[in-house]
Amino acid sequence: MEVLYPHCAGLDVHAGSVTACARIATGAQISYEHRTVSTTTRGLLELDEWLTAHGCTHVAMEATGVYWKPVWHVLEEHFTLVLANAMHIRNVPGRKSDMNDATWIADLLAHGLIRSSFVPPAPIQELRDLTRTRRQLVHEVARHVLRIQKTLEDANLKLTQVMSDMVGVSGRAILNALVAGETDPERLADLTRGRLKATRADLVDALHGRVTDHHRFMIQLHLSQIDALETAIAHIEARIGDALGPFRAAVSLLTTMPGLSETTARVLIAEIGTDMSRFPSVGHLISWAGFCPRLDESAGKRRSTRTRQSTPWLKPTLINAAWAATRKKDSYLRAQFLRIKSRRGAKKAILAVASSMLTAAYVMLRDGVEYHDLGSHHFDQRDKQHLAKRLLQRLRDLGVAVEVKAA
């Protein structure tokens, strides 16, 4: 097999050490040199010098958690780096049982058999850290709200049945009063602002309960945690605003698509970047994001079309955006959802809509254009003859005689 990189290296990265194998090909002769260093900055700089001394031009490593990142940051200035998917490495046949990981990675790299994973540039990586941390904090706020609801249920206060937002203006006022020792349902009901989903009589009835000091302590504890988390979220929002500086134009383009808010657009930019040339085609991006259904057939029978597992950041965000997009009337995305839902169900339909939105985002970022809605009649206009034939057959099935004339 042809050798693409005669001087290359493979790295087996662990939490505390890195095992390196330098593969040097001189004509038909191949030699291997091994070295193990620590993952401290000093150890990684020694590895950099050792690889340079052996004339290595390309270096490959597996994506092992977050342990690969410090290694990548130290070596990226002097070598062409390849980040490999561990599953792809295992699926390549021909590995000997006594061969260590670093040697196997070096051999695959030398022959060009490693597909490089997507590693965004530093500004995108920083934005990704911020958006992911923000989402984790928002989820943590939701967990504390659920714990408050559990405490209220234990005190037999049925606020969840009469209020839609437990930590809104009205809900927060009632919770603060409960912590302060107020137990009169009438006085607690007077603290509400605006309209509720229940009547005042229902609210007063829901506020009759048995509140103890333990309940007050638990509610106050969770409220203080929510306050701290909301302060942290506000700081992260400000930081995200600064990090978005170079990508404002891309965010503005993406928000022209139905269902894509600025928050969703920020997550999309943080996860896939703005340079679409990193993906050979839109199909590669769809597959990378986990929207490509698997093809599992045997003897002509399709066993499964489930999509593969992916990171918990991009795919759920796009699915939530797809649900929002389907609520816009007379839109292509809503028409696509209803069309597929009638045949395959809502779950598969929403995955298809999310995939279409990611496809549109790919084209928008690649060409720098705004979203163009094809309209709710796109499928009817595209399949006029098929639609007419189907409707005529439906009329005949109903016993209606139809005479067709050319328009």
Do both 340 and 252 map to the same domain? yes
Count of structural domains within the chain: 4
Do both 287 and 229 map to the same domain? no
Do both 238 and 253 map to the same domain? no
Show Cβ contacts of residue 290 under 8 Å, excluding neighbours closer than 6 positions.
307, 308, 309, 310, 311, 314, 315
Report yes or no on 66 lying in a domain.
yes
**Boundary-marking domain end, from 85, 110, 135:** 110
Spell out the long-range contacts of 327-333 with Cβ–Cβ below 8 A and sequence spacing 24 or more: 328/258, 328/259, 329/376, 330/375, 330/376, 331/258, 331/373, 331/375, 331/376, 332/373, 332/374, 332/375, 332/376, 332/378, 333/258, 333/259, 333/357
SS3 234: helix
Q: What pLDDT, on a 0 to 100 scale, did the predictor assign at position 198?
A: 81
**What is the C-alpha to C-alpha distance for residues 169 and 299, in angstroms, rounded to an integer?**
61
Q: The domain containing residue 202 runs over which residues?
A: 123-243
Report yes or no on 22 lying in a domain.
yes
Report yes or no on 296 lying in a domain.
yes
DSSP letters, 347-378, are HHHHHHHHHHHHHHHHHHHHHT-------TTH
Do both 219 and 251 map to the same domain? no
Alpha helices by DSSP H, 98-255: 101-110, 122-154, 169-180, 185-189, 200-206, 213-243, 248-254
335 closest CA partner among 292, 299, 378, 301: 378
Do both 100 and 210 map to the same domain? no
Do both 253 and 355 map to the same domain? yes
Report yes or no on 116 lying in a domain.
no
Do both 298 and 349 map to the same domain? yes
Q: Is 84 exposed, middle or buried (0-12, 13-18, 19+ CB in 10 A)?
A: buried
CA–CA distances in Å: residue 53 to residues 9, 68, 385: 12, 22, 69
Report yes or no on 117 lying in a domain.
no
Q: What pLDDT, on a 0 to 100 scale, did the predictor assign at position 305?
A: 62
**Boundary-marking domain end, from 184, 212, 243:** 243
Do both 51 and 140 map to the same domain? no
Which helix (DSSP H) or strand (DSSP E) does residue 13 occupy?
strand 7-13
Do both 225 and 268 map to the same domain? no
Give the pair of three-digit tokens for residue 52: 């340079």
Report yes or no on 2 lying in a domain.
no
Q: What pLDDT, on a 0 to 100 scale, did the predictor assign at position 108?
A: 92
168 closest CA partner among 207, 197, 134: 197
Report yes or no on 1 lying in a domain.
no
Sheet strands side by side (includes 58-62): 29-38, 17-26, 7-13, 58-62, 80-84
Q: What pLDDT, on a 0 to 100 scale, did the predictor assign at position 405?
A: 75
Do both 363 and 393 map to the same domain? no
**Boundary-marking domain end, from 76, 110, 144:** 110
Do both 367 and 385 map to the same domain? no
**What is the C-alpha to C-alpha distance for residues 354 and 325, in angstroms, rounded to an integer?**
9
Q: Please, are residues 308 and 290 in contact by the beta-carbon 8 Å criterion?
A: yes
| CATH number of the CATH domain containing 96 | 3.30.420.10
Q: Say what angle helices 213-243 and 169-180 make with each other, to 10 degrees.
A: 140
Do both 372 and 389 map to the same domain? no
CA–CA distances in Å: residue 319 to residues 130, 266, 305: 21, 15, 18
Instruction: Per-residue pLDDT tens, the chain, 407 aa: give them.
Output: 688 999 999 999 999 999 999 999 988 889 999 999 999 999 999 999 999 999 999 999 998 888 999 999 999 999 999 999 888 888 787 775 545 889 999 999 999 999 888 888 889 999 999 999 999 999 999 999 999 999 999 999 988 888 888 888 989 999 999 999 998 989 998 888 877 778 888 888 989 989 999 999 999 999 999 999 999 999 999 999 999 999 999 999 999 999 999 999 999 999 999 999 988 899 989 988 888 876 666 556 666 566 666 678 899 999 999 999 999 999 999 999 999 999 889 999 999 999 999 999 999 999 999 999 998 888 877 777 777 888 888 888 888 887 777 66
20 closest CA partner among 74, 66, 88, 92: 74
Threshold 0.85, pTM exceeds: no
Identity of the residue numbered 212: T
Q: Please, are residues 11 and 105 in contact by the beta-carbon 8 Å criterion?
A: yes
Q: What pLDDT, on a 0 to 100 scale, did the predictor assign at position 106?
A: 93
**What is the C-alpha to C-alpha distance for residues 254 and 273, in angstroms, rounded to an integer?**
12
Report yes or no on 62 lying in a domain.
yes
